[in-house]
Structure 1
């Protein structure tokens, strides 16, 4: 596979920014809103946004079962911020009617770093991503409180009151970060995911 086709779940959130970043690292990126569009992709990005809204729209657009099936079949998926929440097996501080895809065996705390006014930027060293620490943008971000045995921790906060909190993980073909690489201009994480899609 020379040019992988990667969809961006285009129900709400940073869709355009992810499409631009994926295109910038050599993928063919396209928005996904319908099951037939999902059928045509080699990988999927679930963008940042509002996780409860994405959850509701996933049902409205009849994408929940198709995405569940593709994940179970090994589809590579990357979730950023709200996308991390959507991939988590367990969500703390979520709404009772909120449902995700439960692809990664982890417990995530929604809005763990605080409200919009508490958004911040910090360097995060990412395992498997060369070139030094990643300049991470956290906006009403979750963090990971627990990971299962099959989950690799790719990155943690190194400084400040949240030092040691897990903010990047991988389980098989699924990757999640609590920050927004699509807002930084640093394409290394998107390149990491595109390489994963090619390998899959």
Structure 2
């Protein structure tokens, strides 16, 4: 998905559009949100929105990127389990935030039929965080805190997949208790032998 030219955007209008999209997703759901509704709520013309974004999913992706910047960095206190718990707690909070939950699941659903949205989610949301986590895990592997015969990317999937499973399928609530269990079970097998 091509990035819109930020030099052509009015930041106040951009923020109004992102806020309107988030509010509408919280009030309704992703499927019911329309470009017309976003424009009306934001107090801008539809042409302004279409000039900057090709779809409502693209708007919500940008809003998600803006909100997710806080969880971009990975802590390094020297204790990999504590650092993972800290970062994974932020993920749990995002999944449980009523504003975030609707558009997170809506974007993931949109990605199933829109390869551009899927690629953008991976490129701009998922992959940077996977890289941060993998880099932190590699440091832990070098320090002897984590088995070094397991690829860091595989560990990332092992740890985060259960959170996404509950979030997307609504099997049970995503919770801090869940991530504590994930870490306990994972590190029983990840601790060097």
Structure number with greater Rg is: 2
- The answer, yes or no, to whether TM exceeds 0.5 is no
> Normalising to structure 2: TM-score of the pair?
0.23
Structure with higher strand content: 1
